[in-house]
Amino acid sequence: MRRVVVTGVGAITPLGEHADALVQALNQGISGVRALETPWVGQLVSPLAAPVTAPVENHFPKLRRLMLDRVAQLSLLATREALGQARMDFHGDAGLECGIFWGTGMGGATTLEQAYVESFLNHAARPRPSTIVMFMANSSTGQIGIEYKIRGPSFTYSSACSSSAVAIGEAFTAIRAGRLRFAVAGGGEALLTLGVMKAWESLQTLAKPDPEHPETSCRPFAKDRSGFILGEGAAALVLEEASSAEARGATILAEIIGYGNTTDASHITQPDAGGQARAMQAALAQAGMGPGDIQHINAHGTGTQVGDISETNAIKQVFGPWAHRIPVSATKALHGHLMGATGAVEMVAALGALRTGIVPPTAHLAQPDPECDLDYVPEGARKLPVLDTVMSNSFGFGGNNAVLVARRYLP
């Protein structure tokens, strides 16, 4: 089996336009949560979200924008940064050796909602001819291939909140098995539309706004937690076979060494600690590691009552006496829940911790839940004396669990 390394990362999130901005903001405890400024915000019970505030559309010519839903724009920008850091150009034959592995929960939600509004409110209206190709789930995947001339196999994964973690894990598997030399892997999501947000409200999983400090409304693992804040964004990783990266003198950021994927098979929305534990155990087994070898976990940590307890119990089940010694960070408190993009964004955050030796905090954890009694780094970012191996958890509706393990690269 071949070794698989990361040679580039990119991210555009509510915390900034680049991967470094994400890592720095998390370590500083900066929140991307704010009140939405849209004409329809008054129709929401909770007006809070974690939007990307950068002028995304300005990066694309007008004619190009006409074919790109917001999720595709975000995905292209994250990929651009990752490829730039990796110093990769696929305009030649290298494009044949690269695959695209991309995750999204709903694809082009903005375009789809616009088409429905126009069709149902104006019977004489005709959706734009580009509607289908803008909202289809694999639109971002196709646009990445077109923009960057990647001509190998491409796959789009949709497993709710674990989508982009699955994409990274499957890319890792393909390179490890020798099927590809390179892969662009990650995910994007842009769900801040009226219809989507009202649907999440009806499920009663969105956080209740804190009247005094709304930016602190998402409180994973806290006793007073009430849910998550919906966000948007994208993140991308360039994965590469290790000997290839060394041969071309690439800067190797980390090595992916383990991936676990399981299905709860119990409930469509209620998480199962057993299924989550099996995914973590599978990732550890593939990595050839024991419970004492993981030095940091980026938790799924949504801030829901049931979800946080389930993940806490799963970590205890897998790590036993080591569970209370591992710093566990739930970064959704700051960047929001990016649904299909969240696994990739949090993997970028975990790799940032690996690079800097600093683990980000679980923000707004002033009142710990007695049932969530692990080390969630509530005091703020923490410098660790040793940080060589990290785990990132992503668990999605439908019962899909995806776990990734990475370590500092040693030739």
Catalytic center residues: 161, 300, 337
Three-class SS of the chain: CCCEEEEEEEEEECCECCHHHHHHHHHHCCCCCEECCCCCHHHCCCCEEECCCCCHHHHCCHHHHCCCCHHHHHHHHHHHHHHHHHCCCCCCHHHHHEEEEEECCCCCHHHHHHHHHHHHHCCCCCCCCCHHHHHCCCHHHHHHHHHHCCCCCEEEECCHHHHHHHHHHHHHHHHHCCCCCEEEEEEEECCCCHHHHHHHHHHCCECCCCCCCHHHCCCCCECCCCCECEECEEEEEEEEEHHHHHHCCCCCCEEEEEEEEEECCCCCCCCCHHHHHHHHHHHHHHHCCCHHHCCEEECCCCCCHHHHHHHHHHHHHHHHHHHHHCCEECCHHHHCECHHHHHHHHHHHHHHHHHHCEECCCCCCCCECCCCCCCCCCCCCEECCCCCEEEEEEEECCCEEEEEEEECCCC
| Residues in the chain, overall count | 411
* Residues in CB range of 65: below 8 A, 6 or more apart: 57, 73
- Of 277, 275, 332, 273, the closest CA to residue 300 belongs to 332
Q: Report the chain's terminal Cα–Cα distance, integer Å.
A: 15
Nearest to 73 by CA among 95, 83, 58: 58
Rounded Cα distance, 48 and 245, in Å: 42
